[in-house]
Chain A
């Protein structure tokens, strides 16, 4: 296993279009996280899955955002009716441990540009 994989790496879209990002976590990790990162800032938490259950959603995740993790394996993050303010790097991470000193393993991110 080569780590967390995210696709696509870059996405340019026009305002109002829908986009979907995919994350394949490390296979034995049952915890998966989505973060958003804008230039010059640290990651902002969006949502968290334990297996297929979405246990937490940030208020940053508006109704236009939806995330799924069917069968507790890969996850998708869909943004509907994109806005220019959605332009950011979307990071996926997975972990074996919940909380504590547990390490997050990140993918390389999916960069979204909304024109």
Chain B
């Protein structure tokens, strides 16, 4: 069975600095998708960025980028120029390529932004 591990329960970063959140996963599949979702306090979870396993190029969305290391089964999220609005729980998630619905979630990392 696939698993997703986020080893950092909490991270803090100074506003305008860069922070990297870690995620590792375990799978024997070659076709899968990886996601980072953000859950601000008392607000809905939203997609930050996604990566298809068959793509070698790391995904980038504005200040958010990933470092996808397929062989190491690592999928870290880098947030550049951190802003106060980035404060949230960040969840890493895995979806098998043959699944219509199932997402496997990590336990999350709480990101604190220091002004």
Contacts and interface: CB of A to CB of B under 8 A. Distances in A.
B105 A43 contact: yes
A108 B108 contact: no
B42 A55 contact: no
A98 B100 contact: yes
Given A101-B52, A106-B44, A108-B43, A45 B33 contact: no
Given A40-B107, A101-B50, A108 B101 contact: no
Nearest to A97: B100
Contact of B91 (A33, A42, A103): A42
Contacts of A100: 33, 95, 97
A90 to B, nearest CB: 13
Interface string B88-115: 0001010101111111011110000000
Contacts of A55: 100-101
B106 A4 contact: no
B46 interface: yes
A42 B105 contact: yes
A45 B102 contact: yes
Contacts of A3: 44
Given A42-B93, A101-B52, A91 B45 contact: yes
Contacts of B106: 42
Interface of B: 4, 9, 33, 37, 42-47, 50, 52, 91, 93, 95, 97-103, 105-108
6 contacts: A3-B44, A31-B101, A42-B105, A93-B45, A99-B95, A108-B43
